[in-house]
């Protein structure tokens, strides 16, 4: 199975709260990041984080998460790709969007450096700090876009993860839909260990549901829907599936009770009669009906987005918070 590859850049805000990268890895298998962006965020993030949390535990937790992902090969620095021919160099750099992205990132970085130097002199400290954080977040988004731009140019299927919401009236391509889907995932806090995320993704049922979700987003991206229309459809399918699932589970609950009761009575009668063949039949019938109930669940309307519902149910039981890490 092809790996889901994304680009994600860590901004200053990441170091100021308990936001985790776990949510992104519920969809992606590997993320690339910009080293220079991380270095800039680290310098300011450490200072601000330790100002908010005198123990330094918050910053330490964030660093440990990054180091764990790097050692696991799940988080890798984006390395500039060597373009093999002059035609490739010209082809990439002549693209207007590429040049605009580079210029915008440069302007944002220069502006942020200036704001940081003058932060203590500002007459409105909180407003200046907010501008710095927003600039860092925007720069991270653009670095993710430009990294994926280059990787896709070299035929590596890659999706940028961005915090800012897409233009609601633009056509929803595959990348925009993936970002919409990720925003439907629950925020997984640090009470849920990484081993649980890895275990969940290794589950066969979760893999099948993720593949169904990917097929759905591929199909829907071909219909020229706007971002708003796709989000409306996504919300409808999630609500529809969860409503049907609740009804199905209620049906399963009562049907299983009836089956168990019937099988138990039959087993007792056959024990009295020493009819071991019918005992086996009763138990076999119970197992067959339970399998049929599972098959019925797989045929519920909205199975395409069952992975999202599965994540919410699974990790909500782990007491994770349904909060997103975006401003």
Same domain for 157 and 220? Answer: no
In this prediction, residue 93 carries a pLDDT of: 52
> Is residue 297 one of the residues assigned to a domain?
yes
- Comparison of pLDDT for 327 and 236, the residue scoring more: 236
In this prediction, residue 296 carries a pLDDT of: 52
**Which has the minimum average pLDDT: 83-97, 159-173, 190-204, 219-233?**
83-97
Same domain for 37 and 155? Answer: yes
Residue 146's H or E segment, with its range, is helix 125-153
Cα four-point dihedral sign 126, 326, 167, 169: negative
> Is residue 267 one of the residues assigned to a domain?
yes
Same domain for 150 and 196? Answer: no
Average pLDDT, the chain: 76
pTM: 0.76
Average pLDDT for 83-91? 49
Same domain for 202 and 260? Answer: yes
> Is residue 171 one of the residues assigned to a domain?
no
> Is residue 180 one of the residues assigned to a domain?
no
Same domain for 202 and 151? Answer: no
Same domain for 142 and 269? Answer: no
- Comparison of pLDDT for 174 and 95, the residue scoring more: 174
In this prediction, residue 298 carries a pLDDT of: 53
Q: Residue 132: pLDDT above 80? A: yes
Q: Residue 160: pLDDT above 80? A: yes
Same domain for 17 and 85? Answer: yes
In this prediction, residue 314 carries a pLDDT of: 81
Average pLDDT for 138-167? 83
Same domain for 139 and 213? Answer: no
- Counted domains in the chain: 2
**Which has the minimum average pLDDT: 42-46, 129-133, 191-195, 313-317?**
313-317
Q: Are 119 and 125 in contact (CB under 8 A)?
A: yes
Q: How confident is the model at residue 71 (pLDDT cuts 50, 70, 90)?
A: very high
In this prediction, residue 300 carries a pLDDT of: 54
> Is residue 284 one of the residues assigned to a domain?
yes
Cα four-point dihedral sign 133, 134, 138, 139: negative
> Is residue 176 one of the residues assigned to a domain?
no
Q: How confident is the model at residue 96 (pLDDT cuts 50, 70, 90)?
A: low
Among 3-12, 228-237, 283-292, the range of highest mean pLDDT: 3-12
CB 41: neighbour CB atoms within 10 A? 22
Domain boundary among 98, 130, 164: 164
Same domain for 9 and 131? Answer: yes
- Comparison of pLDDT for 171 and 144, the residue scoring more: 144
Domain boundary among 164, 180, 202: 164
Q: Say how many residues make up the chain.
A: 327
Q: How confident is the model at residue 25 (pLDDT cuts 50, 70, 90)?
A: very high
Q: Residue 313: pLDDT above 90? A: no
In 3-state terms, what secondary structure has residue 309?
helix
In this prediction, residue 101 carries a pLDDT of: 79
Closest CA to 175 of 317, 53, 5: 5
DSSP-assigned letters across all residues of 179-207: HHHHHHSPPP-TTS-HHHHHHHHH-HHHH
Full residue range of the structural domain in which residue 290 is found: 188-327
Q: How confident is the model at residue 249 (pLDDT cuts 50, 70, 90)?
A: low
- Comparison of pLDDT for 47 and 319, the residue scoring more: 47
Tokens 């395409």 belong to which residue? 304
> Is residue 174 one of the residues assigned to a domain?
no
Average pLDDT for 87-91? 49
Same domain for 153 and 214? Answer: no
Same domain for 253 and 288? Answer: yes
Same domain for 158 and 21? Answer: yes
Q: How confident is the model at residue 33 (pLDDT cuts 50, 70, 90)?
A: very high
Q: Residue 326: pLDDT above 80? A: no
> Is residue 91 one of the residues assigned to a domain?
yes
Q: Residue 315: pLDDT above 70? A: yes
């Amino acid at each position: 199975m092809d790996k889901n590859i994304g680009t994600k850049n860590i901004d200053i805000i990441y170091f100021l709260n308990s936001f985790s990268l776990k949510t992104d890895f519920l969809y992606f298998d590997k993320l690339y990041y910009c080293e220079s962006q991380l270095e800039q965020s680290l310098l300011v993030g450490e200072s601000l984080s330790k100002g908010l949390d005198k123990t330094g535990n918050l910053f330490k937790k964030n660093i440990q998460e990054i180091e764990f992902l790097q050692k696991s090969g799940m988080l890798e620095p984006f390395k500039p790709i060597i373009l093999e021919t002059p035609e490739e160099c010209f082809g990439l750099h002549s693209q207007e969007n590429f040049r605009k992205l580079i210029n915008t990132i440069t302007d944002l970085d220069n502006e942020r450096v200036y704001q940081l130097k003058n932060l203590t002199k500002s007459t409105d400290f909180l407003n200046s700090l907010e501008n710095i954080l927003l600039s860092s977040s925007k720069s991270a988004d653009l670095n993710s876009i430009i990294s994926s731009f280059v990787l896709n140019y070299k035929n590596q299927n890659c999706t940028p993860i961005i915090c800012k919401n897409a233009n609601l009236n633009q056509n929803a391509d595959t990348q925009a839909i993936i970002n919409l889907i990720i925003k439907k995932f629950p925020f997984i806090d640090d009470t849920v260990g990484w081993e649980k995320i890895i275990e969940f993704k290794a589950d066969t049922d979760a893999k099948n549901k993720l593949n169904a979700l990917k097929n759905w987003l591929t199909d829907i991206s071909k219909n020229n829907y706007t971002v708003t229309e796709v989000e409306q459809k996504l919300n409808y399918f999630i609500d529809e599936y969860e409503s049907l699932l609740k009804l199905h589970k209620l049906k399963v609950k009562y049907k299983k009770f009836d089956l168990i009761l019937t099988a138990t009575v039959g087993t007792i009668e056959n024990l009295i009669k020493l009819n071991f063949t019918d005992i086996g039949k009763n138990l076999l019938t119970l197992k067959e009906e339970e399998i049929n109930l599972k098959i019925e669940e797989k045929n519920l309307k909205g199975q395409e987005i069952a992975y999202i519902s599965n994540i919410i149910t699974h990790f909500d039981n782990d007491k994770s918070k349904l909060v997103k890490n975006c401003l």
